[in-house]
Amino acid sequence: MYAINTLTSQCRNAMVIMAVIAVLCPALAPDVFAQVPEVELIVGDTIIGANPTLNVFMRNYLDSVESLRFWLKLDRPDVARFISNGDTLVDTTWWQCLEWIDWDCIDSLDVSDSVRNNPEYPYDRMYIDTRVSFFDALDTVNTLISGWEYIDVRSLGGEGYDLLIRATADLDDPLTTPGIPPQYGTVPLVKLNLEALPLPPGEDFAYANVIVEKDMIDLMPIFCNENNDSLCVYWHDVPDTAFYRCYLWLPVGEDDSICAGYERVFEPPYDSIDVRYFSEPYLYLSCFYIQDGTVIIGVPLWSGDANADGSYNLLDILMIIQELYTPGGLELPTFNIDFNCDCEGNLLDVLAMIDWLYSEPPHSARSCTIIEWEAKCGPIE
């Protein structure tokens, strides 16, 4: 199988930061900045129960997309997770050290592809990682990456509360599988499958935000075009200060000595300082627009579904009447009794539901989803 840095087949440049390889694409010149978004990554909203599939959309206005990588995180791992198929996979990577300080390697490069092609290729260490496959969490049917040659999906935490997605349209030259041309459409980039977990005691419903990682260098979104250029990734120089302490002084004459051995330290005391600069990438968010998504768990799917059973019937009418006219009521949220979606619960909702259920043709009043209701009426309380 391909290693974690499979995108190197499409993005030629690799950057090493603190021994963590972040495979990126050659970026645009740092003094060239977009004024409007060129790429959008939009995570949709979903209600688990009505539809456990979460759509992720991409819009690339000016350039094609040939390979990509992005990492999603659920901020409520206690109420929802991505679905796992339970298969254990072995992922082996080989590393070659680029810079040593004494016996410590402080800079290394992933040479897994080279070692696979040539077992005699030199490397300094090998890392074997076992992981649980999360391919069941990803649905590519009728998506923008359907038919791509390489797709990998994994949970870095191993529990399904995060999802790293990487894909490449074509792995070999000449290219035979096309990427995604500039488009502004409604076809999802990918579809993700989730499952709800039992709600904590005292919670009748919950929201879980699906967050796109934007700040961690080795996990921020990377989108590359067919020319192996990254989209909306720029570079700037960052100082890297190292402190060293001498552990072996050799006398030179009566009043002087020289250091015969240094070690790197991270707190005083120290004898010398070394300041170096390296180029670090960053995602220019004026060029790359990102929108997080929301998963809703444990609520009625439609307004006015008083008993939250997924359908409308006489029981809902009776519960709305009980809520409105019985002292103390049932203490239902307004959303549960607002069938006509006017942000209020009253007799009009009862009459509208009776018309909808028993009149031919049904009354024009209709219910709305929780997302529509909150956009119009505010948070459910």
Q: Which two tokens stand for residue 235?
A: 């570079």
Q: Which of 14, 62, 56 is nearest to 38 (CA)?
A: 62
Residue 183 has pLDDT above 90, yes or no: yes
The per-residue pLDDT for 22 is: 33
Average pLDDT of the residues in 235-261: 84
Torsion region of 8: left, alpha or beta (phi above 0 gives left; psi -120 to 50 gives alpha)? alpha
User: What residues have CB less than 8 Å from 119, skipping those under 6 apart?
Assistant: none
pLDDT for residue 15 is more than 60: no
309 vs 79: CA distance, rounded Å = 20
The answer to whether residue 83 scores a pLDDT higher than 60 is yes
The per-residue pLDDT for range 210-224, each reduced to its tens digit, is 999 988 877 889 999
Q: Which of 63-67, 119-123, 275-279 has the highest mean pLDDT?
A: 63-67
- The residues spanned by each domain of the chain are 6-234+282-297, 241-275, 314-377
Torsion sign, CA atoms 11, 22, 40, 187: positive
Q: Which two tokens stand for residue 29?
A: 């010149």
Confidence label for 18 from pLDDT (cuts 50, 70 and 90): very low
Per-residue model confidence as pLDDT tens digits over 313-364: 898 899 899 889 887 777 788 888 999 999 999 999 999 898 888 877 666 6
Assigned CATH for 6-234+282-297: 2.60.40.680
- At 24 the pLDDT is 33
Global pTM? 0.61
Residue 321, phi then psi, degrees to nearest 5: -60, -45
Q: Which residue has the tokens 């191993």?
A: 158
CA-to-CA distance for 320 and 325, rounded, in angstroms? 9
Three-class SS of residue 127? strand
Beta bridge partners of 57: 42
Return the minimum-mean-pLDDT range out of 81-85, 331-335, 365-369: 365-369
Q: Are 169 and 149 in contact (CB under 8 A)?
A: yes
Question: Which of 28-32, 108-112, 123-127 is least confident?
Answer: 28-32
How much is the mean pLDDT over the chain? 80
The pLDDT of residue 300? 65
